[in-house]
Chains A and B, each alone.
Chain A
Amino acid sequence: MRKIENFIKKSPLYPALVLEGYFSPQKRNVVIQITKYFLLSLPLLIIVSVILESYGVIAFGLIADLVIEKILGLVLISAGLYIAMHCFEAYFASIYYFEYVLKNRYQTKEYFTFSAGRILKRATNDNLLSAFLQSISVGHRIMKRLGISDHDRDILFLKQAEVKNPPIIDLSGENLIKVSTITNFLYNNFADFQKLLTKNGISQKDLTATVDWVVYQIENDAYDRQWWKPEKLARIPGVATDWSFGRTYLLSKYSRNAFDDRAVNSEASVFSERKREVEQLEAVLAKPTGANAILAGAPGQEKIEVIWNLCRRMKNRTANANLIGKKPIIFQTADFISSVKNKTEFEVNLIKIFTEAMNAGNILLIIDNLPKLILQAKQFDLKLNDIIEPFLTSHDDKIIGLADLEYFHTLIENDQSIMIHFETVLVRPLLLDEIIKVISQEALIIEKTYEITFTYQAILEMAKGAESYFPDGVSTDKARDLLSEIAPWAIENDIEIVRRDNVLDYIGEKTNIPVARISDNEREKLLELENILMKRIVAQPEAIFAIASAIRRNRAGIRNEKRPLGSFLFLGPTGVGKTETAKALAEIFFSQTESESSDEEKLLMRLDMSEYQNAEAIPRLIEKLSTMLRERSYGVLLLDEFEKTHEKVLNLFLQIIDEGFFLDTFGKKVMARNILFIATSNACADKIFEIVSAGKNLKDHKDEIIATIIKQGIFRPELINRFDATVLFHPLNQENLTMIAKMMIQKVAKKIEKKGMTLSIDNDLINFIVRGGYNPSFGARPMNRLIQDTVEEHLADVIIREQLTAGQTVSFKVLADKPEKNSLKPIIT
């Protein structure tokens, strides 16, 4: 026993830990506040008493001296305590600082980090879990961030009383103990702890990330208080920095100093460090000549973030020496363009602006939206390069152009006259882990404003959700938007701790994609999906089962989130229900409102692939597809007659199905991860017929059919393998057709029912439709045509002639077998 206690005594951090035991930060703060109050009010009391006595208002006499003495005594004690508490504060800050700034330089002689020490200090009975759960400043925070309730935490804590010989962490002192060392030890050695986390959906990786986040918060708070750090002092602008440099009258009109941007000066602005890009940029700008750079990246904040980081370095004086002392001026292209009226004004003013920048001598010119300037010049029949070339070749002047990636590729990259003066720095999109880091740091600031708490899982879901459920834009920006939108939403809904489910609820509300918990109505639909589909799709159980299980997998959250919702290749002859299945699915499952469910066409996105039979059609297809998916990022996309399209188109879909996104003509990512792809094809329909006609089971010959398709070169095996399932649709027999005919006529009946009229359906009518519309090669499709030509035609006639009005019933008498209108006679009763 007391192994841990003896261990921590060896560390030079031990006295600070003990001191904290006596005077916790909260206690110190209370003492500071009280003594401050005394120090301010007591001297005032003495002064007032003396004045009043001198004017004879109050005659204290001897008592007065006594009172004043006592008050003075209190003042002295308060002053002493006030100073002492501040000394303790400085003592702690110094240790925190040690941890924060030099955190990777902790030496093993300290044995543990201060935050870890706070936990170890409580492990008097050697039970580290118990100590962790008791530690308010570290353990409680971590558990809260993990979304574990106080109740569950307390139960786990109480359980620890029963543990006789708790596992002991490595106390050899060879490895520095950090908070993450402790939590990993707890996760691996305390089954109850692991169970509780697993129950809450927390993996070991999540645990470590949460610990890092909490420790960052503790340390960052301490760092924030250290205003005397050189890098913080360096941010205060000097008084005579621009005395030796020229003024920029016209440039100032259309620009701003990036040093004045809030993001550069405020600790509260969080963005990814983008070390690689900033260093690359610095390296380009450090060159003696031609020190110009183009910063190309996705539209959004990412490019300017690199600039902000560079500016921070310039201000902190940690940037490259030749950049220090420079003034980063952002030329706001849009402002300039909106103010120029004609070609001459554009040319003259632009030259003036660049001359001013060059003459000033200390300007790092950053052109926001360089492509816009190039395009505007083009509109005036000018070449931007001709205007600004003298400045680009100058020795001292440095220019950075910001460009959206799409324009960079189309407008700049291939233009040698521009590229010769610039070096490209590409701003890569952040990876998920980096986005999580940025968002979690930003969340700390938002939490202070809104007085809410985000759990780690909520942050994780925001970062993931931004990518998965919003088809357009840069993930970091989207995640950031989500974060700032969720905070006020949480306040409105009285949510104090924002958890994963809250984030999903919000995303669901915003996008109409059912990402949140499964509602009762939806659960019923999910479980009954086969039955619901079977009511509409006749004789295709295999297809129905494949689709239903894919959708259930997705809603249960076990699908691959980097791929579309599902992808199916439906093979079979015409008119056997392939399209109908897609329609039914869209209506049943993807209808977002009641009114939508009646409008099939609106629900189902459809591409007739026979329109894209050559490679030239690809841009047209990409344009159409990206418009479709941007308008509706969740639903069913039917790719009709998939076999008729060009091989290059097939390759495009191979990528979409595999990765869940594609790039539009501008190089922008279009997400298709919430789309259910259904490709239909008549390929090998003859073979299917043959097999079924021979009375064989189609299921047993699936491999043979697929092999034939590959052999005939219709689809490549890679493509077929990419689909979640290749589903064979059976040709329909007489019995199936009778059922379908019945359903089709019932559909017509439903339509006129809305007008208050009734269509009476009898077997004669159904048989007439089946006999007349049966065509083995076209399945049920001719029946639909026949219904239109006969039943619907008759109905239209009688309705227009007002022979059939609301409240009346119409039935049909079959006069002949010939599939034409005159074979039927409407009888109105």
Chain B
Amino acid sequence: MNIILVILGYLKWHYGKAVRSLFSIWKNFLYFIFDFFSISTLFKNFFDPWKRMNDIYPKPFNLKIFFYTFITNLITRIVGALMRFCLLIISLICCLLFIAFLPIALIVWILLPLIVLVIVIAGIFLIFK
């Protein structure tokens, strides 16, 4: 009697709370990936100079120095944008992979009791064949 209760209790958890937990863990990881690659910051500061390496424009105005500064600042912005672009691509691939992982994980989890049962029976069958 107890064993049935246990199995029922477990299955209730497996298909109820555990599935919900799976979703929330998946959500945690997705959020983590966003966070780990600082995706929102990358978008927000896409054209910012690389590590704030920008020069200050001359005062009073001096065309030559202004031009040099402009070019330097442009380069640091381009470098920054390039680096961010590369990282964004990598992070988006990671995100997509992880999003695709959810249905697989969900299917495996739903079938898990069955899988366990099948492989244990198969094992017993192989031994005592």
Residues in chain A within 8 A of chain B (CB atoms): 12, 14-16, 18-19, 22, 69-70, 72-81, 83-84, 87-88, 90-91, 94, 228-230, 233-234, 236, 238-247, 325, 359-361
Which residue on chain A has the smallest CB distance to residue B127?
Answer: A73
Render B25-58 as a binary contact track against A, CB cut-off 8 A, 1 for contact: 1001101100111100110010010111100000
- New A-B contacts (20) at CB < 8 Å, excluding given A233-B29, A244-B51: A15-B10, A15-B12, A22-B6, A70-B127, A72-B123, A73-B125, A76-B119, A79-B123, A91-B13, A94-B13, A233-B28, A233-B32, A238-B35, A239-B36, A240-B87, A241-B41, A243-B38, A243-B80, A243-B83, A244-B80
| B38 → A minimal CB distance (Å) | 4
Residues of A within 8 A of B120 (CB): 76-77, 80-81
Q: Chain A: which residue is nearest B39 at the CB level?
A: A240
State whether the Cβ of B2 lies closer than 8 Å to any Cβ in chain A: yes
Q: Is the CB of A84 within 8 A of B21?
A: no
Q: Tell me whether B93 is interfacial, beta carbon within 8 Å.
A: no
With beta carbons under 8 angstroms apart, the residue of A15, A81, A90, A94 that contacts B6 is A15
CB pair B25 A238 closer than 8 Å: no
Q: A70-B126, A73-B124, A76-B123 are in contact. Are A240 and B37 (CB under 8 A)?
A: yes
Q: How far is the CA of A359 from the CA of B36 in the complex (A)?
A: 24
Closest CB in chain B relative to A797 CB, distance in Å: 91
A18 touches B10 (CB 8 A): no
Q: List the A side residues contacting B127 at CB < 8 Å.
A: 69-70, 73-74, 77
In the assembled complex, which residues on chain A have CB atoms less than 8 Å from the CB atom of B124? 73, 77
- Contact A244-B45, Cβ < 8 Å, known A70-B127, A80-B119, A236-B36: yes
- B106 interface residue (CB < 8 Å to A): no
Report A-chain residues with C-beta under 8 Å of the C-beta of B32. 230, 233-234, 236
Contact A228 B5 (CB under 8 A): no
Residues of chain B within 8 A (CB-CB) of A84 are 116
The answer to whether B25 touches A228, judged by C-beta atoms less than 8 angstroms apart, is yes
Candidates B41, B50, B115; contact of A83 at CB < 8 Å: B115
B78-120 at interface with A (beta carbon < 8 Å): 80, 83-84, 87, 112-113, 115-117, 119-120
Q: Is the CB of B126 within 8 A of A72?
A: yes
By a CB distance below 8 angstroms, the chain A residues around B41 are 240-241, 243-244, 325
CB-defined contacts of B36 to chain A, threshold 8 Å: 236, 238-239
A247 touches B126 (CB 8 A): no
Q: Assuming A76-B122, A94-B17, is B6 touching A19 (CB within 8 A)?
A: yes
Give, as a whole number of angstroms, the nearest-CB distance from B87 to chain A.
Answer: 6
Q: Are B9 and A16 in contact (CB under 8 A)?
A: yes
Contact B126 A69 (CB under 8 A): yes
Are A243 and B51 within 8 A (Cβ)?
A: yes
Q: Which residue of A lies closest to B80 (CB)?
A: A243
CA distance A423 to B21 in the complex (A): 43
Answer whether residue B18 sits at the interface, using C-beta atoms and an 8 A cutoff. yes
> B65 interface residue, CB < 8 Å from A?
no
Q: List 19 A-B contacts (CB under 8 A).
A: A15-B9, A19-B9, A73-B127, A75-B123, A79-B123, A84-B116, A87-B112, A91-B14, A229-B28, A233-B29, A239-B38, A240-B42, A240-B87, A243-B45, A243-B48, A244-B45, A244-B48, A247-B52, A361-B52
Are B10 and A91 within 8 A (Cβ)?
A: yes
Chain A's nearest CB lies how many Å from the CB of B14? 7
User: How long is the Cα–Cα vector from A72 to B123 in the complex, in angstroms?
Assistant: 7
Please report the C-alpha to C-alpha distance between residue A80 and residue B123 in the assembled complex, in whole angstroms.
9
Is B8 in the interface zone, CB < 8 Å from A?
Answer: yes
- Contact (Cβ within 8 A) B28 A230: yes
Which residues of chain A are within 8 angstroms of B8 by Cβ–Cβ distance? 15
* B residues contacting the other copy or chain, number (CB 8 A): 49
Question: In whole angstroms, what is the CA distance A487 to B9 when docked?
Answer: 44
Return the contact of B38 from the options A80, A241, A246 (Cβ within 8 A). A241
Residues of B within 8 A of A12 (CB): 9
- For A239, give its contact among B10, B52, B87, B117 (CB under 8 Å): B87
Residues of chain A within 8 A (CB-CB) of B119 are 76-77, 79-80
User: A725 to chain B: closest CB distance in Å?
Assistant: 67
- Counting CB contacts under 8 A, is B129 at the interface? yes
- Inter-chain CA distance A84–B38, complex, in Å, is 37
Instruction: Across the interface, name the chain B residue whose C-beta is closest to A361.
Output: B52
Given A90-B18, A238-B36: A246 and B29 interface contact (C-beta under 8 Å) = no
Neighbouring B residues of A229 by C-beta, 8 Å: 28
A473 to B80, CA, bound (A): 51
In-complex Cβ contact of B112 among A69, A73, A83 (8 A): A83
Q: Which residues of A contact B35 (CB under 8 A)?
A: 233-234, 238
Given known A-B contacts A80-B120, A87-B14, A94 and B5 have beta carbons under 8 A apart:
no
B9 and A243 contacting across the interface, CB-CB below 8 Å: no
Kindly list chain B residues whose C-beta atoms are within 8 Å of the C-beta of A361.
52
Q: How far is the CA of A571 from the CA of B84 in the complex (A)?
A: 86
Could you say which of A238, A244, A247 has the most chain B C-beta atoms within 10 Å of its C-beta?
A244
CA distance A424 to B113 in the complex (A): 59
Chain A's nearest CB lies how many Å from the CB of B92?
14
A236 to B116, CA, bound (A): 34
- How many Å lie between the Cα of A79 and that of B37 in the bound state? 36
Q: Are A94 and B21 in contact (CB under 8 A)?
A: yes
Measured between C-beta atoms, what is the minimum distance from B115 to chain A in Å?
7
Closest residue of chain A to B26 (Cβ to Cβ) is A228
Contact (Cβ within 8 A) A83 B116? yes
For A243, list chain B residues within 8 Å (CB). Answer: 38, 41-42, 45, 48, 50-51, 80, 83-84
CA distance A561 to B2 in the complex (A): 56
Judge whether A94 and B129 touch: CB under 8 Å.
no
Which residue in chain A gives the minimum CB-CB distance to B31? A230
Contacts of A239 in B (CB 8 A): 36-38, 87
Interface core residue of B9, B17, B21 (most chain A CB under 10 Å): B9
CA–CA, A228 and B122, complex, Å: 33
CA distance A684 to B18 in the complex (A): 85
Residues of B within 8 A of A94 (CB): 13, 17-18, 21
Please report the C-alpha to C-alpha distance between residue A12 and residue B37 in the assembled complex, in whole angstroms. Answer: 41
* A243–B81 CA distance with the chains assembled, in angstroms: 10
A69 to B127, CA, bound (A): 7
Q: How far is the CA of A247 from the CA of B120 in the complex (A)?
A: 59
Write the chain B residue with the least CB distance to A81: B120
Q: How far is it, in angstroms, between the C-alpha of A14 and the C-alpha of B42 when the chains are bound? A: 50
CA distance A379 to B24 in the complex (A): 58
A16–B12 CA distance with the chains assembled, in angstroms: 11
- State whether A18 touches B2 (Cβ < 8 A): yes
Separation of A84 and B115 alpha carbons in the complex (Å): 10
Residues of A within 8 A of B31 (CB): 230, 233
What CA separation (Å) do A78 and B120 show in the bound complex? 8
CB distance from A662 to the nearest CB of B (A): 52
Shortest Cβ gap from A8 to chain B (Å): 12
| Distance, CA A191 to CA B3, complexed state (A) | 38
In the bound complex, CA of A88 to CA of B10 (Å)? 8
CA distance A377 to B23 in the complex (A): 57
| Contact A238 B9, CB 8 Å, known A76-B119, A83-B115, A84-B116 | no
Min Cβ gap A67→B in Å is 11
Known contacts being A236-B36, A239-B37, A246-B52, is A228 close to B28, with CB within 8 Å? Answer: yes
Contact of A245 among B2, B13, B52, B125 (CB under 8 A): B52
In the complex, what residues of A have CB within 8 A of residue B9's CB?
A: 12, 14-16, 18-19
Query: Once the chains bind, are A238 and B37 in contact (CB under 8 Å)?
Result: yes
User: How many Å lie between the Cα of A242 and that of B52 in the bound state?
Assistant: 10
Query: Distance (Å) between the CB of A86 and the closest chain B CB?
Result: 10
Q: Are A73 and B123 touching (Cβ within 8 A)?
A: yes
The CA of A238 and the CA of B123, in the complex, are separated in Å by: 45
